[in-house]
Structure 1
Amino acid sequence: MGIKVPIRNNKELKELVKRIDGDVELLQIWKCANVNAVDRSGISDHGQVHIRIVANAALRIIRLLIKGGIEPSVVTHHGLTAADAEVVVVLAACLHDTGISVHRDNHERYSLFIAFRKARELLEGIYEDPALTTMVSETLHAIVAHAADEKCLTIEAGALKVADATDMSAGRSRIPFEAGQVNIHSVSARAVESVNIVKGEKKPVRIEIKLANSAGIFQVDELLKNKLKFSPLTPFVEVVARIEGETERSMFNSYTI
């Protein structure tokens, strides 16, 4: 299936995606992570589909930021390029949930010891040291900082953190909820119809969320707002959630305690 991100003219990203798509071990890690998430923990998909959604969202965000005049941290602090920043966010997106193959709880930190070896393996030959070590370090920071209450120190980490939260449409909520139970998590997850990332009107990035029911505001306020709060992207991202149409869709028939 592949992660299918728009490469444009980024030759390093093209080679990275080729390697990721052909990595049998990484594909199996994603499958193991999804078993722990869906089958054993009863939460939403954290497998290859989630990875593809987040990788595309993170790449879209970093490109809009760059287009809006925001300099990536690898450029500011390491003298690398905007193209390298794209590589960081895509690689981090592909490795950020690998720790769920170990355990869902504290998975951001479990991801680190899996991602360290895998990141160097995937980037070796595309980059040489010292740039290779820098790229791995930046990727690992983005991975650990995607935890909701972990402070992001880089623009790239912020792009991943926010992108992770945007995978909430059609019931694909990142908030763990007990499958089949009627509660604010399950109801609000069903209420989000679509999420689009576009060029902002007043800021570089605009996240547009279409809701079928006002319960979906819980997803925006509980997840996306908190992710933005702990990222450096707050000044650069505008979020608009709206219900289209005159009537709201019913999320459930009855609720009994």
Structure 2
Amino acid sequence: MTKSDDKENRWEYIDEYSFDEPLSNELTPFEVPMGTNRILGILKDRVESNVELAALWKCSNVTAINRLGYSDHGKKHVEIVANNALRMLRLIADSGIQPSCVQDYGLSYEDAEVILFLGACLHDIGHSVHRDNHTQYSVFFAAPLLGRLLADIYPQEKLTVVTSEVLHCIAVHHKDCRPLTIEAGILRISDALDMAHGRTRPWDDAHTNSNIHAVSARAIDAVDILPGREKPVLISIRMSGSAGVFQVDELLRPKLAGSGIHDLVQIEAKVTCEKQIIADFVIG
């Protein structure tokens, strides 16, 4: 880990965690598997070229990273969450369980992918206003954006249903509210799975070695979403230090417990080696 000599620039991106993607570089292609879902492909193109959404991702990271010292809540986080969510949805569907939008509204599996993709893209844009109550702010910004992103894709009634399902996913992805759909539960867990090497994280020179979130995050080597043996989804987490248990137990466990789909997901975390994460831990 390196420290910046520029005292006016307090935040330093650590290569081990960074995608080396500047905040201004938001209008770039998503690395998200579209499969054969035609509508998902259309939406991917629209999202990638939407200047307003790119600006909201940038503003969200200014709040989260520059002003609060949190981790990435912009485009790269969105990409990771979208990939996690689509992977989980496909595994659950492969096990014979229908998404809630199919069960309750007679929509298609492809529509469930659309709902999760858009939920991932929009779930954190409320950070552009503030971290506190960001889910409500995200819903506020997302509602008109959804109308524009989905324009000419669905007839009005179906558009209303899809919009409502996306907004539900956004509204309950944090810990304050209970998901009522499989899709919302998937998004909630997928959000928490962005914990491995690669997530852009700010490091304050004065607090690098006195923050359990920073220490534990450095111990997470990889997160894999696999077909489960006992449940449809197995989340395998590889750690290079026991400190990573904090991420799993304190952050992921509550998201899973409150997801409404805990019966469909199993989590296994293994320490592959006990690497020294820090040399000391300083308080005060």
Shorter-chain TM-score tier: over 0.9
Structure 1: stretches of 5+ with no match in the other structure: none
User: C-alpha separation between the residues in 2 aligned to 1:48 and 1:171?
Assistant: 13
Q: CA deviation at 1:44?
A: 0.5
Instruction: Find out whether 1:205 has 2:253 as its counterpart.
Output: no
Alignment RMSD (CA, Å): 1.6
Alignment-derived partner of residue 228 in structure 1: 256
Q: CA deviation at 1:149?
A: 3.5
Give the structure with the higher percent helix: 1
Instruction: Find out whether 1:254 has 2:284 as its counterpart.
Output: no
TM-score normalised by structure 1 residue count: 0.94
Q: CA deviation at 1:32?
A: 0.7
- Matches of residues 1-257 of structure 1 in structure 2 within 5 Å? 1-170=28-197, 172=199, 180-245=208-273, 248-257=274-283
Mapped contact 1:43–1:179 kept (Cα < 8 A): no
Mapped contact 1:167–1:173 kept (Cα < 8 A): no
Q: CA deviation at 1:179?
A: 5.4
User: C-alpha separation between the residues in 1 aligned to 2:182 and 2:68?
Assistant: 32
Aligned residues: 253
Q: CA deviation at 1:2?
A: 2.2
Which one-letter code corresponds to 1:21 in the other structure? E
Mapped contact 1:212–1:243 kept (Cα < 8 A): yes
Which one-letter code corresponds to 1:225 in the other structure? R
Which one-letter code corresponds to 2:168 in the other structure? H
Mapped contact 2:43–2:150 kept (Cα < 8 A): yes
Instruction: Summarize deviations over 1:147-198 as a string: whole Å, max 9, x none.
Output: 1242100000011100000000127499xx9952423222111111111111
Give the fraction of aligned pairs with identical amino acids, expressed as a percent.
Answer: 47
Mapped contact 2:209–2:278 kept (Cα < 8 A): no
Structure 2: stretches of 5+ with no match in the other structure: 1-27
User: C-alpha separation between the residues in 2 aligned to 1:106 and 1:69?
Assistant: 36
User: C-alpha separation between the residues in 1 aligned to 2:109 and 2:119?
Assistant: 15
Which one-letter code corresponds to 1:144 in the other structure? A
Say if 1:173 and 1:195 are closer, same or farther in 2 by CA, change over 3 A.
farther
Q: CA deviation at 1:42?
A: 0.6
Which one-letter code corresponds to 2:248 in the other structure? V
TM-score normalised by structure 2 residue count: 0.86
Q: CA deviation at 1:120?
A: 1.4
Moved over 4 A (4+): none
